[in-house]
Structure 1
Amino acid sequence: MKAFNISDYKVSKKVIIEETATKVDLGASEDEIKDALRTTRKDLAKFQDTMYAHGKYAALICLQGMDTAGKDSLIREVFEEFNSRGVVVHSFKTPSKNELKHDYLWRHYIALPQRGKFGVFNRTHYENVLVTRVHPEYILNENLPNITKVSDIDESFWQQRFEQINAFEKTLSENGTIIFKFFLNISKEEQKHRLLRRLNKKEKNWKFSPGDLKERKLWDEYMECYEAVLNNTSTEYAPWYIIPSDSKKTARYLVSKILYETMTSYKDIKEPELAPEIEAKISEYKEQLKNE
């Protein structure tokens, strides 16, 4: 398998979506990629045990992508080896009446992972500058001051939201949350193939919604909004990674590798040492148990 640098996928300069790759050749067969994922996810799960014992950092993984991009299966495959106490997944749907009574970041804030744990947001706070930007009428449901009609929602509104999100993530980072944001980048042709698969396979029919086709017609509008998000909210403390995702196996491996290499770069994350008075009596404690 070809070696790769995770910085190749990090957004560090202006992004033009139509110029970004949806496929990448890792120089390996599907079975080899699957084996590499299996190894990396075991290493990542072992590291999480250490992080849990250390107890000073949390990891937040944000997954965004068009319908059928593979978010659900990626979560299942990448975190398969994790102790259930070590990872919490939140899938954010349409805001409830109670959530709409708070600011748009509130429901995400209360779902953040505790120190020592991984939290996965399947769709994220970025829906508030993606779906709502394509459908600005949804903003009216938030009952915001000075926003009474769609024409009140101008470019300065979206820029303000980008600034608010950056500030939100900066606060999290400064308080020990390591943030990863992954855009699962699929082609429109690949989405068509996956939607057809949902319709052709009876066991997949439940995943299909006519709304998927309505949103697909807005593909270009969504790409413009994703481009704005990537260019306005990728920071050193909360970077975006664009993951070529026409191959689900490749996308899963890339995400797992980026997570593992980044997390293990934090050299202060290690298991705490025993208190000297306990360590000095380990042999005594062993004997007590053996002599029960």
Structure 2
Amino acid sequence: MRLLDALKSSTEFLEKAGVDDAFADSEMLVLHASGADRLSSYMDNPEISKGLQAKIRRLVRRRAKGEPVQYIVGQVEFFGLKIHIGKGVLIPRPETELLAEDAIKAVSRGRVTLPLQILDLCTGSGCIAIALAKAFPDSRVYGTDVSKTAIRYAKKNAAGSAVENVTFLQGSLYLPLKRSLCFDLIVSNPPYVKRGDIDGLQREIKEWEPLEALDGGGDGLDFYRSIFTDAPKYLCRGGRILVELGFGQAEDVKMLAMRQGFGTIEVRKDYAGIERILKAELRSQDTATIK
């Protein structure tokens, strides 16, 4: 059997199993199993051993049972970085790259007093924290997460990305931090799915991804309340906060931010036109480190 024959049969198998994007997932699994690059695979279409055929079949069967392809291959690309992931860690989404992008812009376009200190709440795989640490090597970045598994992956990803200016701490939101720490920028992609909506999510999400990384409480706003309530205690003068939003949450999160003294609130839409990123600055601060 040749490699492209394996790709064809794998695609047909996943289509029959009702998997969306069966071809894209099959291609990712076949290339991962073979270790071959995409261009040479299509140009050369090499013969593959029976052992490799069996390996491909095992991976494809896992995908047919609903396991996310990202967990099967063990990594995902995020902002040009290879981020290792596995069960127990939220899979980074393309829209979350917008949060990292806007955070970098907030620093790059502003007047910054170095050394910069950045906090990533609910860091998960550490993808946002590592992207920011990579963009600002003279900064000090902290990431917190309640999950021991997430912190383990975050530390692995930092080491794999050769990033040394990031510290990951296990604990809920601000709890693992020293009260004396002061941050110029706080970012977060918190759990924001309404508890009652979780059963309606795709099976790849609700059956495989960690519930604690999805469940935002009854109205999906529990983490935003905690984040904005305590943010003023940890922000330096002129510090800003950027958070990712769930569908239809922009107005509610704006109100939460305003009640805690935040102003200059901006919301950015993602590529699907959904209000996805909220950026805010404390109104009570009169000297900005980031503008």
More strand by share: 2
Greater RCO, 1 or 2 (C-alpha within 8 Å, sep 6+): 1
What is the TM-score when the length of structure 2 is the normalising length? 0.30
More helix by share: 1
What is the TM-score when the length of structure 1 is the normalising length? 0.30
